[in-house]
Amino acid sequence: MVPLVRSFLAPNPGPLTLDGTRSYLVGDDPVAIIDPGPRIESHISALAEAVRPASEIVILLTHAHDDHAAASARLAHRTGGSVHGPGGDHDLGDGQVIATSVGDLVAVATPGHARRHFCFHHPDTASIFVGDLIMGKGDTTWTGEYLGAVADYLRSLDRLDALAPRTLHPAHGPPIPDAAATIARFRAHRLERIEQVRRAVATGHAGAPAIARHVYGPLPPKIRTMAEAGVDAILDYLSGAE
78: left (phi over 0), alpha (psi -120 to 50) or beta: alpha
pLDDT at 240: 83
In residues, how long is the chain? 242
pLDDT at 1: 54
Examine residue 181 and state whether it is found in any structural domain, yes or no. Answer: yes
Domain that holds residue 106: 5-189
179-202 and 149-162 helices, crossing angle to 10°: 160
Examine residue 123 and state whether it is found in any structural domain, yes or no. Answer: yes
pLDDT at 114: 97
Phi (first) and psi of residue 25, to 5 degrees: -105, 125
Examine residue 172 and state whether it is found in any structural domain, yes or no. Answer: yes
- How does DSSP classify residue 21? P
C-alpha angle 182/67/232, rounded to 5°? Answer: 65
Examine residue 25 and state whether it is found in any structural domain, yes or no. Answer: yes
pLDDT at 3: 72
Examine residue 209 and state whether it is found in any structural domain, yes or no. Answer: no
- Tell whether the torsion through CA atoms of 128, 132, 133 and 138 is positive or negative: positive
Write out 148-188 in H/E/C secondary structure: CHHHHHHHHHHHHHHCCCCEEEECCCCCECCHHHHHHHHHH
Q: How many CB atoms lie within 10 A of CB 95?
A: 10
CATH code for the domain in which residue 142 is found: 3.60.15.10
The SS3 of residue 233 is helix
Q: Which residues pair with 59 in a beta bridge?
A: 33, 83
pLDDT at 241: 60
- pTM to 2 decimals? 0.95
Examine residue 50 and state whether it is found in any structural domain, yes or no. Answer: yes
Examine residue 52 and state whether it is found in any structural domain, yes or no. Answer: yes
User: Cα 152 from chain centroid?
Assistant: 14
Examine residue 63 and state whether it is found in any structural domain, yes or no. Answer: yes
User: Could you tell me which residues come within 8 angstroms of residue 145 by beta carbon, excluding any fewer than 6 positions away?
Assistant: 113, 114, 115, 229, 233
Q: How many domains does the chain have?
A: 1
Tens digit of each residue's pLDDT, the chain (242 residues) = 557 899 999 999 998 999 999 999 999 999 999 999 999 999 999 999 999 999 999 999 999 999 999 999 999 999 999 999 999 999 999 999 999 999 999 999 999 999 999 999 999 999 999 999 999 999 999 999 999 999 999 999 999 999 999 999 999 999 999 999 999 999 999 999 999 999 999 999 999 999 999 999 888 988 999 999 999 999 999 998 64
pLDDT at 128: 98
Burial class (CB in 10 A: 0-12, 13-18, 19+), 204: exposed
